[in-house]
Amino acid sequence: MNYYNEIKNKLIDNEIYSKVKDYSKERHKVITCFEIGRLLTEAGGKYGDNIIDEYSKKLIIEVGKKYNRRTLFRMKQFYNMFSDEKVSQLATQLSWSHYVELLPLKNIDEIKYYINICKEQNIGRDLLREKIRNNEYKRLPSETKNKLTIEDKIEVKDLVPNPILIKNKNNIDVVTEKALHQLILEDIESFMKELGNSFSFIGSEYKIKIGDRNHYIDILLFNYKYNCFVVVELKVTEFKVDYISQVQKYMNYIDKNIKEINHNNTIGILICKKENKFVIEYCSDERIVVREYELV
């Protein structure tokens, strides 16, 4: 087989196809990159790794400048990443620009995670790049990663990362709950995306009355995918046992007075400066997740 001619013809075919088949050109491009990656891998096994350098020099002249060594190397990486039969079906789920962002990753479970959220949330390349840069997958609890690997049922609280990244555009020193609260409200959309998917904003300092006293829930959200209210409580100190009972009280109020019969039970997210895993272990409530925050 003349590997070079085969690669050249596929690239020329893709250039033509991309101009006349708009509705499916991206998928065709991904398939072409996969096939070229296969040919490069086979050619490298037969003629040595330097074959990419040799082919790229000729392709730049005969097909186009964009087919340089880096591009060909990415195609080879792409093929090697998805050549395994168990993951090959993921190779045409996204655009080529998405896969370029995924190529540096080594963990196939992490790659699967980003592919799935891109599909589910219709995420573009730029947002995917941000999620990877912010180590979204790495910040998920180990229990959640295990669930994703075995395709177990995922709950809304499973996808809340640790730590939660809160944008601090003005680099202010956060020493009070009010200041932290204000930072979140300044970019509430970003905060909700950080918590996971499908959140909508209900209220800030949401007023409830228990007995003859008024109480204020820091942030009340609703998750329409999991059909439940979410109580978010903010603390700028290390976790304390009393914080759990406070969140429980707010959750119980929502369940008894606000949620509809078709809603699932309310969950709680307690965000604090520092968690204490040993204390949490003995006073936890399965409905509540405790997470640290980090200003970025």
256-294 tens-digit pLDDT? 999 999 999 999 999 999 876 655 555 667 899 999 999
Give the pLDDT score at 125: 94
Q: Can you give the CATH number for the domain in which 207 is found?
A: 3.40.1350.10
Residue 90 lies inside a defined structural domain of this protein: yes
Which residues of the chain fall short of a pLDDT of 70? 20-24, 276-284
Residue 144 lies inside a defined structural domain of this protein: no
Name the residue range of residue 217's domain. 155-295
61-101 tens-digit pLDDT? 999 999 999 999 999 999 999 998 777 888 889 999 999 99
The answer to whether residues 15 and 121 belong to one domain is yes
Residue 143 lies inside a defined structural domain of this protein: no
Give the pLDDT score at 100: 97
Domain count, the chain: 2
Give the pLDDT score at 84: 85
Q: Answer with the one of 80, 101, 133 that is the final residue of a domain.
A: 133
Q: Give the side-chain half-sphere CA count within 13 A for 73.
A: 8
Residue 139 lies inside a defined structural domain of this protein: no
The answer to whether residues 118 and 161 belong to one domain is no
How is the chain classified by DSSP, letter by letter?
Answer: --HHHHHHHHHHHHHHHHHH-GGGHHHHHHHHHHHHHHHHHHHHHHH-TTHHHHHHHHHHHHT-TT-SHHHHHHHHHHHHHH-STTTGGGTTSS-HHHHHHHTT---HHHHHHHHHHHHHHT--HHHHHHHHHTTTTTTS-HHHHHHHHTT----GGGG--SSEEE--TT-----SHHHHHHHHHHTHHHHHHHH-SSEEEEEEEEEEEETTEEEEEEEEEEETTTTEEEEEEE-SSB--HHHHHHHHHHHHHHHHHTS-TTSPPPEEEEEESB--HHHHHHH--TTEEEEEEEE-
The answer to whether residues 57 and 110 belong to one domain is yes
> Please, what is the average pLDDT of the chain?
91
Give the pLDDT score at 281: 59
Q: What share of the chain has pLDDT > 70, as a percent?
A: 95
- Pairing outcome for strands 228-234 and 213-223: antiparallel
